[in-house]
Structure 1
Amino acid sequence: MKTKFLILASLCFSMVGFAQKNEIKAAEKALKGGNAGAAKTALEAVSGSISGADEKLQVQYYFTRGKAYAELAKKGDNSAFEEAASSFQKVLELEEKSGKKKYSDETQQHMKALSADLVNSAVEDNGNKKFKEAAEKLYTSYKISPQDTSYLYYAASSAVNGGHYEEALKYYEELQEIGYDGSGVVYKATNVETGQVEEMDKTQRDLMVKSGAYKDPVDEKTPSKKAEIVKNTALIYTQLGKDDKALEAYKAARASNPDDVNLILNEANLHYKLGDKDKFKELMAEAAAMAPDNADLHYNIGVINMEQGNLEEARVAYKKALEINPSYTNAQLNLSTTYVNEGNSLIDEMNSLGNSKADIAKYDELKQQKDSLFLEGASVLEDALKTNPDNQSILTQLKNIYGAMGDNENFMRIKKLLGE
């Protein structure tokens, strides 16, 4: 009785193996006929039992499955990319283990083609603002072809563009783990016929120049992307509310890139967000010393000084910004405001005075100082109107100053310019 059972079991396994072979052959036939959907259906029929098949049959199954899903991906099934990639990778794993590499070379070719299809599809997704899908495809392409580390970098960029910060953070951290640099050399030459500068690989470029079809070869170095990656990592930590990790990231980034003024600016903004205005001010001054011709830097230094009541320092910063960019409207408005704020600060003292002769004299003195400050603020904006006569913000602030001074003539003049 036991012998009969073993015979029956053997017959069952033989029948399963026979069915598996038939379904794989059916899938192969469907693929040859251009019917990837039918191939997928045939393969699904044996997917639950394939793990028990011998390695040779498993390899054939996964190779066929990879081709079927690759075809489905080409026809627009985005979910098929991952299935194709995992099937092809399974082929390589099994053949590496067995030492028999019947399908390995062809599988490698299919994987290269799949990677190219993934990248092309990701480019299209980015163009259609499908950033999450683009990032996932680029990451899959990187996993298929780990030597092409730029795919991982572009996956992170796509995720950032779509606001998918958790995914982007994962990609950026992986880039740092593998020591991605991103620098390189771009080989260019000018097409003699069209006059256009074109990029190509070095061998092709040199051959084309030698043939006379191209001229003026240029080897253009591309900068390292390490600072950008660390900076973006810090920005994402900030976006996710992980401020301590963001500060650590900036510290690491600045240690390796001490001359990157943008890193200083981003760290300064984080300190400002955290309420550490003294550190913000310190870093902004450091950045201004590194980039003395950056008007925005000086403007931001003015803003923080004005918020802290350091009006003289704020004026110095705003004036520096205006030296660099004379039409910097916000700097003009804020510079004017420093004078108005100082003038307003005298009003409480004026109102606290009594009616004695000394108090009246003091009142007149303070009023003269206030009006002088208001006039200084108005003068800044009158100069601004010379180059920007229709700016509503400038006109409105100027009208308010003249109104506060009781200068009805100028008040009505500006009001007319505002169309009121």
Structure 2
Amino acid sequence: MTTVDVKQVVAKHIVSPKGFTAAGMHCGVKHKKKDLALLFSEVPASVAGVFTTNAIKAAPVVVTKETIYDSRTLQAVVLNSGNANACTGKQGLADAKQMQQLVADKFMIPANTVGVCSTGVIGQHLPMEPIIKGIQEIELGDSVEHGVHFAEALLTTDTVMKNTAYTVMIDNKEVTIAGTAKGSGMIEPNMATMLGVITTDAKIDSDTLQTLLAAATNVTFNAITVDGDTSTNDTVLALANGLAGNESLTPEHADWDAFKEAFRLVSQDLAKMIAKDGEGATKLIETTVIGAATNEEAIKIAKTVVGSPLVKTAVFGNDANWGRILAAVGYSGCAIDPTNVFIKIGDEAVVDGGEPLDFSEAYLLEYLKQPEIKIVVDLHVGEGQGKAWGCDLTYDYVQINATYRS
């Protein structure tokens, strides 16, 4: 396999790629914190999107999905936090379309090149007066500060911003891929999760970008879980404006593998940040499964392990209860041979051939106190491999969600 040279950007933010500007501000949806974000490309960009599989879809999901499938390009995305505009009927659709039109008027671009995203409380109509005023007043820029403000405006129960960016050489041109996301609870996607925006100055057509985003989603955003709930608003959008000056990217391009890897890394970084910042979480759990029948089954098994409430609570309590891991593997619905299963927590093997091993309880007690916990499961069934990420389940998760509307 050819080695690719992908470099992480130090000052990483959504406007790291050429030709993008952004901003975030407080307009009044929330009491104090930033709640309105706007992204703009100086030229129309190829676009790809993945959306919630929940049958109940928020108004902005409906509007944006229709928009990108119709126009195949986007030039702007407007996002608000504090109110999901979900389960709001005809008025919700009208409000999402008004946000779209307001941005179109601001930049004098077609309304069908504007995406709309919302996140927050379900079942309440948007307070349109402050949103209208905010869209009219928000001022864009391409500085790190503007990128930070954009990321801040997306947050709900998140405790940290989620930003990443990488550069890669394509046709001897430096291409940048950046991403920003929010997500902390209601994280159990069947396609993507959260609100996420990926920007790149690479030249790539929308169909190829859609295929790339879907593939990256399957091994990153689809491979995380916090609480087993699928949001009504999950959206990930990818915009590529072509301003890096490379030749159009396709799988046949000589530098395709490098671009694909950089894109995957952006998606994986954001996915792991979401899992690590799960509501009330204190630890990131990474499960690697090898020796599965297929790669798809490996990811499914890994996700079953990190999604198990019993595994999550054991990790929170620093309890090396490997039986919970083995049980999750068993009910994953995938092909396994119980007599061939091997499990390792950290550097300590705890199960081999489906039978318990003598291990150091003292080592695992200390290991499980670390902020990142790694579990490896080897099934010895086939060549499939995959990873999934989750977090521990804490008292604070219950507290946060018991008082979310208040």
- TM-score range with shorter-chain normalisation? under 0.3
Q: Name the TM-score, length of structure 1 as normaliser.
A: 0.23
Larger Rg: 1
Tell me which protein shows more strand as a share of its residues.
2
More helix by share: 1
